[in-house]
Amino acid sequence: MSRFAPVTEGTDNWCGPCNVPRHRHDRAYAALILSGSYEESGSFGRYRVRPGQVLLHRRFDAHLDRFESGGAHIVNVLLCAEPAFGLGCVTDADAIARLSEHDPVATAAALAEQLRPVPPPITDWPDLLARDLRDDPQLSLHDWAMRHHLAPETLSRGFRKVFATPPAGFRAEARTQDALGLIAKGSSPLAAVAAATGFADQAHMTRAITALTGRPPGYWREVKSLQDLARGLHL
């Protein structure tokens, strides 16, 4: 059995109330909300979404969902590129939904054309901590707790209640995603990527990326090289 949850491309209906435990996918995708609302806590932060908004997920991002009694009607769209933000909105969700019934390629193109980022809301200190950990995966949790007058056990318990993972685990995943992004976009030596993203050494980074993705960094470097070659052959 795969360690990753499948993405159901196209329409997806969720009846509430229900909670979907923390999970991750090995495909980048967008979830366009057509009706209903729900809360998602994931690698980009915590969002409460409504119709016309779009949740975006990179490969290997983790998230959990909390659906209320009304549930939600969603269109899932597979993405070819990794999104740079977690929440967006579109101007004509119905048009995208109609395209999704027969043309996945046109659906993705229409979504990309309409998509605009929405600033993430900061409603409580766990949201602020998640943002700060994404911005600085080397952030000291002890120092952050002291600045915000929180006991270490309160920090861990409160954050885990929202994100279903402790702050240290969230920070480690953010650091690993940063490293994976650099490997996928550039050609820097793996040791340099490890140093730039705060790992103790290349071996430490290799273990983290393998644990997150099921593949070592060298695999993702090779995939990037093959993609670059394919693009070159089509010039």
Q: Are residues 178 and 225 in the same domain?
A: yes
2-37 pLDDT, tens per residue?
Answer: 789 999 899 999 999 999 999 999 999 999 999 999
Q: Give Cβ neighbours of residue 198 (< 8 Å, ≥ 6 apart).
A: 137, 138, 175
Q: How confident is the model at residue 64 (pLDDT cuts 50, 70, 90)?
A: very high
Q: How confident is the model at residue 96 (pLDDT cuts 50, 70, 90)?
A: very high
The answer to whether residue 184 scores a pLDDT higher than 90 is no
Q: Are residues 158 and 99 in the same domain?
A: no
- More confident position, 226 or 40: 40
pLDDT of the residue at 226: 63
**Could you give the CA distance from residue 214 to residue 24 in angstroms, rounded to a whole number?**
12
Q: Are residues 29 and 110 in the same domain?
A: yes
Q: Are residues 81 and 35 in the same domain?
A: yes
- More confident position, 196 or 227: 196
Establish if 139 belongs to a structural domain: yes
Which structural domain range is residue 180 located in? Answer: 125-229
In this structure, the number of other CB atoms found within 10 A of the CB of residue 225 comes to 11
Q: Of 85, 117, 149, which marks where a domain is finished?
A: 117
**CATH number, domain at 131?**
1.10.10.60
Q: Are residues 37 and 104 in the same domain?
A: yes
pLDDT of the residue at 162: 97
pLDDT of the residue at 231: 55
pLDDT of the residue at 229: 45
pLDDT of the residue at 228: 64
Task: Provide the terminal-to-terminal Cα distance of the chain, rounded to the nearest Å.
Answer: 39
The answer to whether residue 189 scores a pLDDT higher than 50 is yes
Which of 17, 31, 34 lies closest to 70 in space, CA to CA? 17
**CATH number, domain at 61?**
2.60.120.10
Q: Please give the average per-residue pLDDT across 104-114, as a whole number.
A: 97
Count of structural domains within the chain: 2
204-215 pLDDT, tens per residue?
Answer: 999 999 999 999
The answer to whether residue 187 scores a pLDDT higher than 60 is yes
